[in-house]
Structure 1
Amino acid sequence: MKALYCMPALALAAIAVPSSAQVWQSDQGNGTFRNPVLYADYPDPDVIRVGDDFFFATTTFVNVPGITILHSKDLVNWEIYSHVIDRIEGMPQYDLKDGNAYRKGLFATSLRHHNGRYYLVVTPVGLNTRIYYADDPKGPWKFHELDREAFDPGFFIDDDGTGYIATAVNSDGTITLLTLDKDYRKVVRSREIHYIKGAEGSKIIKRDGWYYLFNAIPPRMALTVSRARSLDGPWETREQIDDQTGGHQGALVDLPNGDWFGFVMVDSGAIGRMTNFSPVFWQDGWPVWGTPDAPGKVPEIARKPIQGYAPAQPASSDDFSQPTLGLQWQWNHNPDNTRWSLSERPGFLRLHATQADSLWSARNTLVQKAQGPRSRAEVKLDLSHISAGDRCGFGTFGQHSATLSANRTSNGALFVDMSVITSTLEGPVEEQRTKQPLTSGNTLWMAVDADFINDTGALSYSADGKNWTPIGGTFPLSFAWRTGTFQGEQFAISCFSTNSQGGYLDVDSFTLMPPPATTNGVDE
């Protein structure tokens, strides 16, 4: 299943782009790249280099498997490498029991490598900080749990092997440094080392005998850097960049030749938090984002830091022919593994309907990140075995979850309906928009068109995969950390039943592609 390339509607149309690209291709094929490097929701980035390889860890909240790690050879072309956590433990809501855990789960992580071992530090919401470790980022990962909760932990290993965790919460801004024992199993010392109003997301690097402490300042959507000769300070702090000039949470990673590059996330509307990369130069011992000709901002276009590697992107399309799910997929909470299968019908993903009142409370909703700036996702479904009361289909998942569901009447007739669930502070509110009968058999294609320039989406269906019927009009796409999933909008395949007994849905394929070419907003 291959996706095709379409030039997005940005002010970059004159740039030649490789024809093999998908919806968004950062690598321009001429030795340069454009930002964002990842036009999707990969928040709270932490990037390290191990030899000639770069690894990127990102937040996954309540999605499972949790904590995604990507791999690159050049900081521009990234592929999904692994996930760290198979299942989130600690409260029944992670199993969608006694409520949900949206906006909880696994927040910002810190990834490091020392003496042949990889370490990833994360604090599950409401639980103590965990230090995961593995000899390979593919796993298996094991962990030690500390005796306290360190918010957005920034792990740093000094030249002598001593491990530290920097932590701060933006409602306070006090940066606390935890010293670990030699095995990184427990905290042996804690002290306050610095204060920056609104600081969180601490990261520490070391260069030429200086310690550099990076902090996100969410109230101002800004990034600061502080430096000191000792981890205990005194620290001198300078402003770096913000969401107007590039982003507000990130740090630096060194290149094999000794140069440095910066990585940062930027809030970008319904798509979520995108990832920008930037050259960095040093001036009077301080890092400066950008180039000497255009300092203090992340460039739209820059020279690739490492040449010679072909364009690559995180996986998206899937024909479900492999014995395991592709790494691009995650479940909306811990799944019920007795209710889905790739082996009951080889070549298909089978979703047995779980009992739920609505999509928001349904287990085993399979999601992957939507991609910008505009994208179209299509699924091919076999509806033969859905039952009366089932709602099985495809759509978006986020603050606005728009779903096109296939249903069956009590006499066995198939129909589709379109609904939108909006998550609010009072709870999810569902709007049933329209329903239409199906008369063309049990095979059905469904599609989502997502426009992250205008933050709108649309649903349609087809009996042959060629001729499409729009349904329900447009709906909003949005990002809301207070009421949504704390993630950008996702594509979602779901199957649940309002009855105690349900049937099942067979998913033949998922295909991501550019939307139809447009001229002045009109399909050609």
Structure 2
Amino acid sequence: MKLNTVKEKQSWIADLGNGYYQNPILFADYSDPDVIRVGDDFYLISSSFASTPGIPVLHSKDLVNWEIISHVFDRLPYDYYDTVRHGAGAWAPSIRYHQGQYWVFFGIPDHGIFMSTAENPAGPWAPLHLVKEAKGWIDPCPFWDDDGQAYLVFAFAKSRCGIKNKLKMCRMKPDGTALLSDPELVFDGNANHPTIEGPKMYKRNGYYYIFAPAGGVKPGWQTVLRSKQVYGSYEDKIVLHQGKSPINGPHQGGLVELESGESWFIHFQDRDAYGRIVHMQPVRWENDWPIMGHQQNEENIGEPVLKWKKPNVGKEYPIKAPATSDEFKEEILGLQWQWEANHKPEWYKLNEETGLRLFAQPYPKNSHQTLAECPHVLCQKFPAPVFTVTTKFSFHSSSPTDQAGLVILGKEYEYIALNSDGLVHVAGTRENPMPIEEEKEQHLLDSSTVYLRVQVQEEAVCQFYYSVDGKDFLKIGDAFQAKKGHWVGAKIGLFCTTKEVQKDTGFVDVRWIRVENNGMITAK
């Protein structure tokens, strides 16, 4: 009964309620995940790219049921990220627990390697520290050896420096603040592992291990390197691939070992508009090699599981999923929300009576005045394969150019928005040669309060609706397929914009937003 209650409120639940879980454990775009265990708690982090606040931190007691507890930083460094930078920002972080502190390292491919620490993963996190200024260094992972020596292993972004198949390592100050040596090559994947990246380093039973994805996001596989010496030479072995399973590119993630002796590997799968969703594979060890998933072939390369017995953590824990719906009754935004760039406090305010107030913001200077260029779009991830989003808007316009609405955002996007004439349906693209938008349909409305809805069906096919009473919903526009963004999935977004050069006093009150998995909608 408890499981059914949760399913009515949440869009995707990995815990099957019978001692088993289903993959993905997170049907949302938590790209490039890394995971650790500290005592009987588990923590997972992921890439956030140009969105802020950045690098979400999730907590679990059983590796299956997760909730968001913090972000590592509020804003990206440099004014460069005050404008929308699709695909830039914080890439592939690593999380570790060392000497009573939590450490997160990540790369900003255009600027360098950054680090933050916290005594509590729920925050506060220390201000970002630049460990190494470098262009094209990505996916850093710290490692502290038994003798106290510290190291940093990392990969390269071909788009920034022309390299995509090498892993290098440096000695590092034990406090993680600086590197102590020039990088040394520890693995060249040119022969068998093109596009090797995302290294995660461990030590087990006298071996140094580097877990690294290779072969590219969708067609790739998970490689494990091992050596008796920290700088190698390293043997390599493919341990997980798609095989005959429907899970493409099963790679890039982290290993976690339980007090019970079990080992598990958490990784992502690219699902286009749904983003890079998170799976978990059982791991066993043979001859000091990890054997992942099931249905190993003659080379002991495993395939991802779709359902498996839950990790043995000693007890059962409540079913949870990351937050989606928001009644906007708290003093701060829910942790599921991120802006499209560095954000400003004057963009919004929260009030228990009126909800979330978004103030009309002008389009960026020298822009094409499209939503894809606006940093002030407030977004969250797609949370499931099928779901419905409904929100209540009260629009207060002070200019004919003000508009506020609900968007499905990606490289191509569509939105419905209230303006001075009623409700408009717009389609846009930010692909070359320039961002453009096209009005598809307009409906006249007498009410400034309206309910907006989008229903997402399998394969990310979306349909917008609206209602003036919250009961009878009318279609607006044709169904369309959501599109992914740059390294990210499609997003659900809220916005309030104006074409006035100076900000005016127009605003929208978003009373609430509710995300449900409630089947088909009957439209009039």
Distance 1:428 1:133 in 2: 39
Q: Which moved more, 1:291-300 or 1:330-339?
A: 291-300
Partner of 2:366: none
| Structure 2 residue ranges without an equivalent (≥5) | 364-368
**Secondary structure of the structure 2 residue equivalent to 1:270:** helix
Distance 2:232 2:254 in 1: 19
The answer to whether the 8 Å contact 1:251/1:264 transfers is yes
Query: CA separation of 1:368/1:87 partners in 2, compared to 1, >3 Å: closer, same or farther?
Result: same
Partner of 1:117: 101
Residue 291 of structure 1 deviates from its aligned partner by 4.5
Residue 250 of structure 1 deviates from its aligned partner by 1.6
Partner of 2:428: 421
Partner of 1:19: 5
Matched, 1:342 2:356: no
| Number of residue pairs aligned between Structure 1 and Structure 2 | 491
Partner of 2:306: 300
The answer to whether the 8 Å contact 1:449/1:459 transfers is yes
Distance 1:427 1:153 in 2: 34
Residue 218 of structure 1 deviates from its aligned partner by 4.2
Partner of 1:81: 69
Partner of 1:12: none
Partner of 1:411: none
Residue 61 of structure 1 deviates from its aligned partner by 0.7
The TM-score with structure 2 as length reference comes to 0.89
Distance 1:280 1:319 in 2: 40
CA offsets 1:125-154 (integer angstroms, 9 cap, x no match): 311211211111122222432233331112
Q: Report the AA paired with residue 138 of structure 1.
A: A
Distance 1:243 1:386 in 2: 55
Query: CA separation of 1:255/1:292 partners in 2, compared to 1, >3 Å: closer, same or farther?
Result: farther
Matched, 1:454 2:424: no
* Structure 2 residue corresponding to 1:249, chosen from 225, 249, 252: 252
The answer to whether the 8 Å contact 1:387/1:407 transfers is no
* Structure 2 residue corresponding to 1:212, chosen from 193, 209, 212: 209
* Structure 1 residue corresponding to 2:147, chosen from 136, 142, 160: 160
**Secondary structure of the structure 1 residue equivalent to 2:85:** coil
The answer to whether the 8 Å contact 2:32/2:92 transfers is yes
* Structure 1 residue corresponding to 2:85, chosen from 101, 106, 120: 101
CA offsets 1:319-352 (integer angstroms, 9 cap, x no match): 1000111101111111221121114x74411111
Query: CA separation of 1:79/1:386 partners in 2, compared to 1, >3 Å: closer, same or farther?
Result: farther
The answer to whether the 8 Å contact 1:203/1:251 transfers is yes
Q: Which runs of 4+ in 1 moved over 6 A?
A: 292-295
**Secondary structure of the structure 1 residue equivalent to 2:230:** coil
Matched, 1:131 2:115: yes
The answer to whether the 8 Å contact 1:78/1:314 transfers is yes
Q: Report the AA paired with residue 342 of structure 2.
A: N
Residue 385 of structure 1 deviates from its aligned partner by 4.2
Residue 268 of structure 1 deviates from its aligned partner by 1.1
**Secondary structure of the structure 1 residue equivalent to 2:6:** coil
Q: Report the AA paired with residue 209 of structure 2.
A: Y
**Secondary structure of the structure 1 residue equivalent to 2:112:** coil
* Structure 1 residue corresponding to 2:329, chosen from 321, 328, 337: 321
Distance 1:17 1:243 in 2: 31
Partner of 2:177: 185
Partner of 1:377: 389
Q: Report the AA paired with residue 20 of structure 1.
A: V
Distance 1:384 1:477 in 2: 29
Distance 1:470 1:430 in 2: 20
Partner of 1:196: 189
Q: Report the AA paired with residue 208 of structure 1.
A: N
Matched, 1:240 2:239: yes
The answer to whether the 8 Å contact 1:449/1:515 transfers is no
The TM-score with structure 1 as length reference comes to 0.89
Partner of 2:487: 486
Matched, 1:333 2:326: no
Partner of 1:9: none
> Which residues in structure 2 correspond to 1:53-72 (within 5 Å)?
53-72=41-60
The answer to whether the 8 Å contact 1:355/1:496 transfers is yes
Identity fraction in percent? 31
Distance 1:106 1:218 in 2: 22
Residue 517 of structure 1 deviates from its aligned partner by 4.2
